[in-house]
Structure 1
């Protein structure tokens, strides 16, 4: 015989909900082995030392206060500092510097090289300095070549060959214009504080108010600002379309703490 089925079945206790997964306290370094990028560290350290050495030569051979006022010197000092810290992070397998900082250093040193070769050292340019100033010689010529040609090319090579792509963003392009704008205000204010006839009162020919007037100088500044913004947008676009130069090396060198096994049977 079977027991009679009761008419009233007592309520069963509610099944407790499955607790949500808590975030794992294990750091990423315990799963992925940090990889030192010795080549990138060495190349960036070389760039930093080269830029710093050229700036030091200029400071020794000329007036430090005047030399430090040039956009060329300031952009190379920034590049030297950025490359020095970037080299340290690459050597110690730490995360790279923020792209807003590295992109700014690349943009400013690229402006230095392009303005020099297209406007200042170009005999066909209306702002050419080839016929007005005595060509640099000796160590001054070496430093001039390094600051306007070697470091911009080296910074571009580091970006193209040793930096992962898609790090720059379009919203950063407008922020990068703040420094050139501040430099314009500084250069014009500096010229107003110096007495007429002072050597290098106007640091660049396209900023010479005495020769061109404020209207033309501000027009030149506007054209340069638009060109700088276009260059910044171009760098961002190229950064999102260029291949990844370190993907192949990272794929073969990175190791994880988990290994998948093939299914049995």
Structure 2
């Protein structure tokens, strides 16, 4: 008779001289089929085209250098580039863009819309300038009216909806909020230097009333910049907090269950 085969076979001792191999962590992308998101890609491409078209029209209506000096124009150029890249990644089933980049794009778009509607287009504001892109204190007309609303209302709302409805939560981090302030600080230095270099009689010497050194002086302008900077940081922290509490809108259903790439076979015998 042969001896019965034991049910539990003890582990074999390690062979001396052969180092133990570390555990291998297989990334999810290697075992899961990539998922294309054509709807997200189409929406993001449409938003990018709207921003790019509005910026292009503004460049043809006025001085290109003065137009490119506006915060809203620069923020929308960034939005168009980032959303084009995001649309391509969603269409080709690639990993999303880094959250530091997409979060900064969302923040600058939100700042563009909030500053315009709360400070520039608000009649009760001491810094009212509804025709900020033209440097006029009256409401813009014609194509300026359309591009002003696209750049200050449509694209910020579209960026917010894309974040809420087409982006997975939990991607933004609090440590990124301080980094996002680098661009507003750089823009402040740029606009103050621009105002000093231009001749005093130049139209739109300072592009924004709350940064007009000739009218308010450096003390008031720096105080305004500090308050706006704190508000931008508070908005960034709020976006991070909302990102970690909002529900996940991204749902993928591949047939009835997710495919991992491995198929387990029943034991033999």
The answer for the alignment partner of 2:228 in structure 1 is: 224
1:148 equivalent among 138, 148, 152: 152
The answer on whether the counterparts of 1:35 and 1:253 sit within 8 Å (CA) in structure 2 is no
How big is the shift at 1:255?
Answer: 2.0
- The answer on whether the counterparts of 1:107 and 1:232 sit within 8 Å (CA) in structure 2 is yes
SS of structure 2 residue aligned to 1:126 = coil
Residue of structure 1 equivalent to 2:15:
16
In the other structure, the counterpart of 1:240 is 244
1:165 & 1:108 partners in 2: Cα distance? 19
TM-score, reference length from structure 1: 0.88
8 Å CA contact 2:128–2:137 kept in 1: the answer is: no
1:15-94 aligned within 5 A: 16=15, 20-21=20-21, 28-94=28-94
Q: Counterpart in 2 of 1:99?
A: 99
Q: Deviations over 1:69-122 (max 9, x none)?
A: 000000000000000000001111011000000000000010000000000000
TM-score for both structures, normalised by structure 2 = 0.87
Moved over 3 A (4+): 17-30, 247-254, 259-264
Count of residues in Structure 1 that have an aligned counterpart in Structure 2: 252
* Structure 2 partner of 1:160: 164
Larger radius of gyration: 1
Distance 1:46 1:21 in 2: 49
CA distance in 2 between counterparts of 1:252 and 1:107 reads 38
Q: Extract unaligned runs of 5+ from structure 1.
A: 1-13
SS at match of 1:247: coil
The corresponding residue for 1:202 is: 206
